[in-house]
A and B are shown apart, each in its own frame.
Chain A
Amino acid sequence: MDLLDKFDATTALRESLPFKKADPFTVVMDEIISETEAMIGGRQTILAGTNNYMGMTFHEDAIEAAKDALDKFGTGTTGSRVLNGTYGGHKALEATIAEFYGMKHCMVFSTGYQANLGMLSALGGKDDYIIIDADSHASIYDGCAMGNATIVRFKHNDVEHMEKRLKRIPEGAHKLLVVEGMYSMLGDAAPLKELLEIGKKYGCMTLVDEAHSMGFCGENGRGVAEELGVEHLVDFFVGTFSKSVGTVGGFAVSNHPKFDVLRYVSRPYIFTASLPPSVVASATASIKAIQRSGNRRAHLWENARQLHAGLKEAGFNLCTEKAESPIIAVHLPDAMIGTKFWEQLLMEGVYVNMAAPPATPAGMFLMRVSVCAQHTSEQISQIIKRFIITAEKTGLNLNS
């Protein structure tokens, strides 16, 4: 008897993938040259799978603020937000995010994952209902599992399917509708206007996770809800610092007058150490910079459109009709070709994410590319060129 025996199927699957020269699960970035390049296995590589959408990881203001905080406040807080772990910097960061979203309240969590755990587990009480999209991120599923609510799932981005289910929930029950602005695997945006309007019609409170849309969607970079002009239908926004903001951490914002009580009941907020002062300082500086980053936003969208158009023209199967986000997902027929393709592409000097079930919808095998505002047009051309070379070398048939 061995407790680890139950993972034998996973081990077998892992070992069946024919990696020879590199392995997507054990890649090491030996040196980070810039927001867009790294040394991997002695090879200079274009990074096209980092979620570093706005390229803030080396932003001067963020680095300077982090160094200063490190000198003044030390390496860590060694404590919970509700004990010794709230510094002036944490409060300043919460005020910065609340202002960024034009909302009254903000709570900062130690990761984006914990922000969802913390919000959903606390909001979803025994007699409540949480309604989620089937393609929700693991943190949403796990937050649901941690709470006591009844969980109802609807087909991805399917407004009608959702409404059918909302109708079946007992009248008078408290309901929370949870959706993401942008879905991270395929890079497809949600029809937030329709989803939120229907949700409100049935009396739901609403939570929108803008993890993969903050920074570049909407005039101020607040996300898809801003882009679509439906922020007034959102009760809670959840977001992360680990994508566009370029560091680590998560947050929730709201106008709800009772919001702050969550600080005393949300276990993923309470029972963990707060973010180090340097991370907090760089997140604050980065969000302020993002507010002023109209040019970066514009260039990021140019990059996304250039990559989408280039790969489409070359005959790759793309998961979205047009570039809906900086995430461009390329659909590959199966695990064997996908594995070879990923490996060869890395040998050509391009790093992308290999995404496989169960992280992907409908059992799809994907090369998930995410572009950065700091990629030059020349780098995007190189990515396209190397995709084409890789297709030739791995025998992937392209559409003509």
Chain B
Amino acid sequence: MANAETFETICALIAPLNKKGIELKPESSFAVDLELDSLTVMDLVAEIEDEFDILLPLNLLPDLETIQHVADAVEKILAEG
């Protein structure tokens, strides 16, 4: 499980895209709960990459359905350095 700080940082990046104003929870999904289209997700991925100074390769994206998934992936990548 990713730590709270990572989760909060990611949520801050999602906030401007949260048009429906739903409560952001670890299990909130990008496609269903946040209703983000693929182009918006693409921009979000780029922002997360720059925020954490990492690469989130395209290959990973199909498995990253929720905020928790992304937070875990970010921490795993950071840990692998």
A residues near B (Cβ < 8 Å) are 134, 144, 150-155, 161, 164-165, 168-169, 357-358, 361-363
A-B contact pairs, 25 of them (CB 8 A): A134-B42, A144-B58, A150-B55, A150-B57, A151-B57, A151-B58, A152-B55, A152-B58, A153-B42, A153-B45, A153-B46, A153-B58, A155-B46, A164-B50, A165-B49, A165-B55, A168-B53, A168-B54, A168-B55, A169-B55, A357-B37, A358-B38, A362-B39, A363-B37, A363-B39
B residues near A (Cβ < 8 Å) are 37-39, 42, 45-46, 49-50, 53-55, 57-59
What residues of chain A lie closer than 8 Å to B53, measured between beta carbons? 168
A150 and B39 contacting across the interface, CB-CB below 8 Å: no
What residues of chain A lie closer than 8 Å to B55, measured between beta carbons? 150, 152, 165, 168-169
What residues of chain A lie closer than 8 Å to B59, measured between beta carbons? 150-151
What residues of chain B lie closer than 8 Å to A169, measured between beta carbons? 55
In the bound complex, CA of A168 to CA of B42 (Å):
18
Secondary structure type dominating chain B contacts: helix
In the bound complex, CA of A336 to CA of B34 (Å):
25
A152 and B57 contacting across the interface, CB-CB below 8 Å: yes
The number of residue pairs between A and B whose CB atoms lie closer than 8 Å in the complex comes to 34
In the bound complex, CA of A144 to CA of B50 (Å):
23
In the bound complex, CA of A94 to CA of B55 (Å):
38
In the bound complex, CA of A336 to CA of B31 (Å):
24
Secondary structure type dominating chain A contacts: mixed
What residues of chain B lie closer than 8 Å to A358, measured between beta carbons? 38-39
In the bound complex, CA of A161 to CA of B43 (Å):
12
A161 and B58 contacting across the interface, CB-CB below 8 Å: no
Min CB distance A126 to B, Å, is 11
Q: Give B54's nearest chain A residue, CB to CB.
A: A168
Min CB distance B18 to A, Å, is 18
In the bound complex, CA of A161 to CA of B23 (Å):
31
In the bound complex, CA of A151 to CA of B53 (Å):
16
What residues of chain B lie closer than 8 Å to A155, measured between beta carbons? 46
Min CB distance B63 to A, Å, is 14
In the bound complex, CA of A161 to CA of B42 (Å):
13
Min CB distance B81 to A, Å, is 10
In the bound complex, CA of A152 to CA of B59 (Å):
9
What residues of chain A lie closer than 8 Å to B39, measured between beta carbons? 357-358, 361-363
What residues of chain A lie closer than 8 Å to B37, measured between beta carbons? 357, 363
Min CB distance B42 to A, Å, is 6
What residues of chain A lie closer than 8 Å to B58, measured between beta carbons? 144, 151-153
Min CB distance B55 to A, Å, is 5
In the bound complex, CA of A152 to CA of B39 (Å):
15
Q: Give A364's nearest chain B residue, CB to CB.
A: B39
Q: Give B55's nearest chain A residue, CB to CB.
A: A168
What residues of chain B lie closer than 8 Å to A357, measured between beta carbons? 37, 39
Min CB distance A135 to B, Å, is 10
| Other A-B pairs, 14, CB within 8 Å; known A150-B57, A153-B58 | A134-B42, A152-B55, A152-B57, A153-B42, A153-B45, A154-B46, A155-B46, A164-B50, A165-B49, A168-B55, A169-B55, A357-B37, A358-B39, A363-B39
In the bound complex, CA of A153 to CA of B42 (Å):
9
What residues of chain A lie closer than 8 Å to B54, measured between beta carbons? 168
In the bound complex, CA of A164 to CA of B49 (Å):
10
What residues of chain A lie closer than 8 Å to B46, measured between beta carbons? 153-155, 161
In the bound complex, CA of A152 to CA of B60 (Å):
10
